[in-house]
Structure 1
Amino acid sequence: MSHSTSRRGLLFGAAAVSTGALLAGCTSNETKDESPAADAGSAADDKPGKHVTIGFAGPQADHGWLNAINDNAKNRAKKYSDVTLEITEGSNDTAAQIGQIETLINKKVDVLVVLPADGKALTQVGLKAMRAGIPVVNLDRIFNSPQAYRCWIGGDNYGMGLNAGTYIGEKLKGKSNARVVELAGLDNLELTKQRTQGFDDALKNYPNIKKVARQAAEFTVESGQAKMAQLLQAQSRFDALWNHDDDQGVGALRAIDQAGRDDFLMVGGAGALSAFQAIKQDDGVLKATVLYPPTMAASAIDLARALGQGKGVTGMAEFEIPASITLYSAVVDKDNVDRYMPTGFR
């Protein structure tokens, strides 16, 4: 695999979205940062251009994935001598995050990158920025109105479930009366419902497989351990487990170890470094994880820079960047884990 191919693949978790594979104005120039996340991905236009001030506002980094979002944004911005990043402290309080974004609007930043704690609640401030002539890159959690952003980039929750279910289905397709269980995330989130729907739809293609139990956890180590213990106690036999989130998967693996169970395969979700390491070691139940790549924040900085410089996406005929980019939920197992290891988050 060539160096350039590996870097493009790392940018999006898989080289599956042709519109996002190469972003104009998105490579390193004079300023270098050596962190793997910052170096994950590249594009054709590496010449410094018009200076762009990018305002970045996200929720509080109270979860490994969200912390990785912030790190990816900061490290990506460091690569460019023509980018200044104004990053807010981050808050899960809607009013506080709106206030932070309004401050960035008042500072007259050139472009905004926003990962809203609540997309619906922050739609109005997205509209305010756009009306003020500040293009908004809406990251992951989507605003209610397409008028509130210029470009949306994010993960594919349905695709996570679909790819996890397909991977499990292929592993169990020769087994009669196969049984699977699901350890979901927060059930009040739409993304959790989408992940479950994708998983269920994939399993429809494997009539030999039945989902016999589902528990919802809370994306935390503690909840993962507690809910997995309940699943193990209730289900004396099953052949596969899909866990929606690698952070809560740390707790799930503890419960599995405590129960002395190794009679099934486990697939995780998101792409934590601990999951990659366990997959590579290959001495436990965790055999794969489906990506929800935090490198999307690095790509959002690329998109914001391109917007600020009036550029499009290299490799596409259009002068403008796309209105939306959905990243691919690649399956990472022992065969390809080395490729993705640099993108793993802690």
Structure 2
Amino acid sequence: MSASPARRFASRRGLLFGGAAASAGVFLAGCTSNDTGDDEEDSQQAPVAEESEGPPVTIGFAGPQADHGWLNAINENARSRAETYADVTLEITEGSNDTATQIGQIETLINSQVDVLVILPADGIALTQIGLTAMRAGIPVVNLDRIFDNPQAYRCWIGGDNYGMGLNAGHFIGEQLRDVQNARVVELSGPDNLELTGQRTQGFDDALANYPNIEKVARQAAEFTVESGQEVMSGLLQAQPEFDALWNHDDDQGVGALRAIDQAGRDEFIMVGGAGARSAMEAIQADDSVLKATVLYPPTMAASAIDLARALGQSRGVGGLAEFEIPSSITLYSAVVTRENVEQYLPTGFN
């Protein structure tokens, strides 16, 4: 028999505001699953490991519109991960980039009394209040990637490292060009109205500061789309008749950038991508273009968010850690994928 709303509310408040967890049952590095009968890895799914079934948990998932390969992979990772658990029911919204619509969708999930919410807000600041509303109602919130403006609006945040993306891209390029005198680098960034773009550029610049032989000679912003990548890259190629390396913030716009590069017949430089699209990894594997690496911003974070939500709903901690509670924040590492390690990361590449 299910607990009364009052008991459910009381137990949730204890979980949110300091109650000890019953056991340590989730291991995020390997993640968790009840399904051990299939050894094949989904092309967009995090690796799984066996774990015993626990109490049933209903997880509400709300994200923005999947109008980009990475966002679509986020949704697929959440769905696929939830399906591996016999004790998880996933209620997923349509997804919208309109903040009022997304707030309404989350309100519906709150009113349906889901046990835990996973929210990737279209706008973290604009949706902070609805996160606070859920937490005050005793529903733990796992804030995915785009962070709320108030830490009281979520129990746990998990997301990528935009600064780390730029830092690791910069160090990879720096090492490749260490022996090149007066090396010239260009940057094809994401939209400048996004905070994450500035973080990626800052990390890149900080890394290049360690290599006095390298100068960043140009930076242009695209829009995370194939079309904008091709258009902006064409302009960069015309303005820069010769350079040694290119860092592109996003593999979707990188498809367009590679088209422009092929059309211009340029191959004197190396290119590093960003995010970890399957097409980019396959190009790195084939080693038949200027694209030699991509820096991950892994959509598998959505699978881990489901793991965290399940852990919260079942009063579990994180396996491998001494604490009884899950962490308040988890920042994923932006690994550099090259021809040497692409086989390892290829299963996580998104379409």
**TM-score, reference length from structure 1:** 0.92
Distance (Å, rounded) in 1 between the aligned partners of 2:109 and 2:56: 17
**Structure 2 match to 1:316:** 321
Confirm or deny: 8 A CA contact 2:45 2:348 kept in the other structure: no
Q: In the alignment, which residue of structure 2 is the partner of 1:247? A: 252
Distance 1:116 1:105 in 2: 15
Question: What is the rounded CA distance, in whole Å, between the counterparts of 1:39 and 1:88 in structure 2?
Answer: 20
CA distance in 1 between partners of 2:29 and 2:259 (Å): 44
Q: Matched residue of 1:312: which SS?
A: strand
Matches within 5 A, 1:1-346: 22-23=27-28, 26-30=31-35, 36=42, 40-43=46-49, 46-346=51-351
Alignment partner, residue 22 of structure 2: none
Amino acid at match of 1:310: S
Classify the secondary structure of the residue corresponding to 1:128: helix
- How far apart in 2 are the matches of 1:60 and 1:232? 33
CA distance in 2, matches of 1:77, 1:32: 16
Per-residue CA deviation, residues 39-84 of structure 1 (Å, 9 max, x unaligned), is 523356x000010000000000000000000000000000000000
Amino acid aligned to 2:291: L
Following superposition, the deviation at residue 35 of structure 1 comes to: 5.1
CA distance in 2, matches of 1:257, 1:325: 39
Distance between the aligned counterparts of 1:252 and 1:37, measured in 2? 24
Cα pair 1:182 1:214 within 8 Å, conserved: yes
- What whole-Å deviation, never above 9, does each CA across 1:8-50 have from its counterpart, x for those lacking one? xxxxxxxxxxxxx924995221587765257523356x00001
Check conservation: 2:46, 2:77, Cα contact below 8 A: no
SS in 2 for 1:315: coil
- Counterpart of 2:23 in structure 1 is none
Letter in 2 for 1:65: W
Look up the SS of the partner of 1:338 in the other structure: helix
* Alignment-derived partner of residue 14 in structure 2: none
TM-score by length of 2: 0.90
SS of structure 2 residue aligned to 1:278 = helix
Match in the other structure for 1:15: none
Q: Over the residues paired in the alignment, what is the CA RMSD in angstroms?
A: 1.8
Cα separation, 2, equivalents of 1:102 and 1:181 = 45
Q: Choose 1 or 2 for highest CA Rg.
A: 2
In the alignment, is the contact (CA less than 8 A) between 2:44 and 2:348 conserved in 1? Answer: no
Deviation at 1:283, TM superposition (A): 1.1
The answer on whether the counterparts of 1:137 and 1:149 sit within 8 Å (CA) in structure 2 is yes
Q: What amino acid is aligned across from residue 188 of structure 2 in structure 1?
A: L
Residue by residue, what CA displacement relative to the aligned partner does 1:113-145 show, whole Å, maximum 9, x if unpaired?
000000000000000000000000000000000
Structure 1 unaligned regions, length at least 5: 1-20
2:151 counterpart letter in structure 1: P
Quote the Cα distance in structure 1 between the aligned partners of 2:43 and 2:150: 31
- Paired with 2:132 and 2:126, the residues of 1 have a C-alpha distance of 12
| Percent identity of paired positions between Structure 1 and Structure 2 | 78
SS of the residue corresponding to residue 329 of structure 1 reads coil
Q: Secondary structure in 2 aligned to 1:195?
A: helix
CA–CA separation in structure 1 for the residues paired with 2:295 and 2:349: 12
